Amino acid sequence: MRYPLILLLLLLALAIPLAFSPTSRADWALENSLVVVGVALLIATWRRFPFSKVSYTTIFLFLVLHEVGAHYTYSEVPYDAWFEGLTGRTLNSVLGLERNHYDRLVHFSYGLLIAYPIRELMVRVPTAAASGGYFFPLDVVMSTSVVYELIEWAAALVFGGELGEAYLGTQGDVWDAQKDMALASLGALVALSVTAAIHRSANRDFQREWAESLRPAADIGPLGEQALARLRRKS
């Protein structure tokens, strides 16, 4: 319990100062609503389902990035000014970028940092362990990215005005949602590929684990017309 508690205290030590004078108080509250729910779930379930230190660390790092984005709003995080203060040049000028890309970084980090905790969750659930090794975490990252983009779109429609624009953060890019989802998927793919490489180098039974990741759970039963026929026989 000590390590997750330390991370929670560190997160609070960052989040509390960032709660003062955010760029948009309404956007800050909206951005942090899911954080409160997520952290509450982690606290409520840590006894029955504790994660590893690796997973708690990656979750913590993602929440740190998110809290910074919530304070400034994602499209206005002044990373360029920070970088210029250290090097004398803006990061965008060095990389040849035009828009603020902090939101892109966080979407990529979502896949990179959250895919492993999802994998850890799935391989410890007996009924999902067979298909939960490598591909299911990627599916979850991709599907939750889609859901989040839909939430952003709905929030922009409901709240409208500056709040809706700040929360959506497209910065004039009509393909913003698609790019965000693609980056999250890429981050998850990188994380799971690194995980697979580490497992293989650690002399684990990697081939068996990989094969299990491709196989559905054994107890799902017949599907399609077989399932319909079975239901008719029972009736």
Q: Which two tokens stand for residue 108?
A: 């990529």
3 pLDDT band (50/70/90 cuts)?
Answer: very high
Mean pLDDT (whole number) for 160-167: 62
Q: Which residue has the higher pLDDT, 129 or 3?
A: 3
Q: What are phi and psi of 144, to 5 degrees?
A: -70, -30
Check residue 151 and give its pLDDT.
81
For 191-205, how does the pLDDT look when each residue is reduced to its tens digit (9 = 90+)? Answer: 999 988 887 787 666
- Using H for helix, E for strand and C for coil, what is the string for the chain? CHHHHHHHHHHHHHHHHHCCCCCCHHHHHHHHHHHHHHHHHHHHHCCCCCCCHHHHHHHHHHHHHHHHHHHHCHHHCCHHHHHHHHHCCCHHHHHCCCCCCHHHHHHHHHHHHHHHHHHHHHHCCHHHCCCCCCHHHHHHHHHHHHHHHHHHHHHHHHHCHHHHHHHHCCCCCCCHHHHHHHHHHHHHHHHHHHHHHHHHHCCCCHHHHHHHHHCCCCCCCCCHHHHHHHHHHHC
Check residue 128 and give its pLDDT.
58
Check residue 105 and give its pLDDT.
93
> Structure pTM?
0.82
Q: Which two tokens stand for residue 148?
A: 């989040």
100 pLDDT band (50/70/90 cuts)?
Answer: confident
Check residue 136 and give its pLDDT.
85
Least confident of 92-96, 143-147, 224-228: 224-228
Q: Which two tokens stand for residue 160?
A: 């409208």
Q: Which residue has the higher pLDDT, 215 or 185?
A: 185
For 32-41, how does the pLDDT look when each residue is reduced to its tens digit (9 = 90+)? Answer: 998 999 999 9
Cα–Cα distance, 62 to 106 (Å, whole number): 7
Q: What mean pLDDT value characterizes the chain?
A: 83
165 and 88 Cβ atoms separated by less than 8 Å: no
